[in-house]
Amino acid sequence: EVQLVESGGGLVQPGGSLRLSCEASGFSFSKYWMSWVRQAPGKGREWVANIKEDGGEKFYVDSVKGRFTISRDNAKMSVYLQMNSLRAEDTAVYYCARETKDSSLPDVWGQGTTVTVSS
């Protein structure tokens, strides 16, 4: 079964850091781009970042550039999101997703991990 399982969310103070992890199973992880997408309470989904199969290319939404870093470890079939200098507006459920081979659209999603930035 193709599956993505996120972890690492929690409550953090403004200015703090968190590292989200996403472990994949059931597919050839190293052959797919991977993404992070978030959804703030009461708001729509926002694409956050993605990373190429070999980690050689990474892209970010402007609001997280310089604060968030996406990375991956193909041997561990995992993708990560290091989040620094967190702000209240980063509060959201963060989803890991696999992009299709035919496009850059996510076709497999995890269930999400909740990040709350509050003092």
Partner 1 sequence: AIQMTQSPSSLSASVGDRVTITCRASQGIGNDLGWYQQKTGKAPKLLIYAASSLQSGVPSRFSGSGSGTDFTLTISSLQPEDFATYYCLQDYNYPFTFGQGTKLEIK
Question: Which residues contribute to the site for partner 1 (CB under 8 A)?
Answer: 44-47, 50, 59-62, 95, 100, 102-111
- The whole-angstrom separation of Cα 38 and Cα 6 is 12
Least distance between partner 1 and beta carbon 119 (Å): 28
**Shortest distance, CB of residue 82 to partner 1, whole angstroms?**
18
Cα 119 from Cα 81, distance rounded (Å): 22
Tokens found for residue 77: 């079939």
What are the tokens at 103?
Answer: 């496009």
CB of 113 to partner 1, least distance (A): 13
**Closer of 2 and 11 to partner 1 (Cβ):** 2
For the CB of residue 93, give the shortest distance to partner 1 in the complex, in Å.
11
| 92-99 and 106-109 strand pairing | antiparallel
Nearer to partner 1 (CB atom), residue 16 or residue 108: 108
**Which DSSP category does 100 fall into?**
P
Residue 19 in tokens: 């590292």
C-beta of 23 vs 46, nearer to partner 1: 46
Amino acid at 111: Q
Nearer to partner 1, 27 or 59 (CB): 59
